[in-house]
Structure 1
Amino acid sequence: MAVHEAAHAVLGLLYGLHVVSTEIIQWDRPDGGWALTGQTSFEGTNLCPWKLAAYMAAGEVAHRKHLGHLGWSRKQADAVATSDHDRDYAIDVLARHGFHLGRDHTPPGGRSWASVQGQALDAVTACWQQITTVARAVEADTKLHGDTVAALAGLPNAAPIGGA
């Protein structure tokens, strides 16, 4: 989970977004177990729509890459690292702005989710050291503010919308 959120945060910085925070959230389940989720909050304007889609794909791509480093097969990693919510969010946001992102095809004038994942993989691979550094820190602290993420990654954090 930490690698997933760290990838969102690092690519957000790389693409000029203002990263507000990234965090891992744990809660207790009624059956006595526990569950995890994560959240990376950002602000930005005038971002290329395909970079936004790659930002959304980055968590899933990084999670798969991390599991591969741990020795998992591609099939095993695919079974646990899929983030349909990130894909669906990207499709919905881009559609609201007139851009077409296809789940399993390339729509006319648009791109496929697979092509966006490829773009994300290139960026995740280029930023792997920063992503793993941020992931270790978020595992230790569970929530990092954007400026901390930026310092760890060695990337600038854009100014917040409306100023500091």
Structure 2
Amino acid sequence: SLAIGGVDISLSQLVDILSYGEANSLQNAVIWEIRLPRLLLTMAVGAGLAASGAAMQAIFRNPLADPGLIGITSGAALGAIAAIVLGNSLLSSFSETYGIYAVPMGAFLGCLVICALVYKLSSQGNQFTIISLLLAGIAINAIVSAFIGILTLISSDAELRDLTFWGMGSLA
């Protein structure tokens, strides 16, 4: 991924840039300022997702467990979709304050709210069981999915386009 892109860099040039820093300034800048940081970010994100997935599987003692079981992914999706769809009208101050970070912040806030709600629903006093966490998460996941459908239904064509590209994901 370091050699492939809009700027042609051969494998020998890549080795020269990484080992000696010798190449023309454009290729050197592309590697050191764009492609290498993106590669390192991708590796860090992948490691974080792997660790959180392993923790989730250990908690539920199930190799197929994922964050969707307790509503985390749907909560994050609801927050991001709300930032996209409602960002220009109801949440305009939120979008203006955070700019390009409004969607990730919305996803993070949605995730936190759903995590707190699922935890509150699954704990009774000082008692907390994995089964109650699982059942509360599945119920909240279904409810949040309905709200996601409503927001998708009321969104404009431009917002639907933004939702589609957000759903595809990117580290660019």
TM-score > 0.5 by shorter chain: no
TM-score by length of 2: 0.29
TM-score by length of 1: 0.30
Q: Which is bigger in relative contact order (C-alpha 8 A, separation at least 6)?
A: 1
Structure with higher helix content: 2
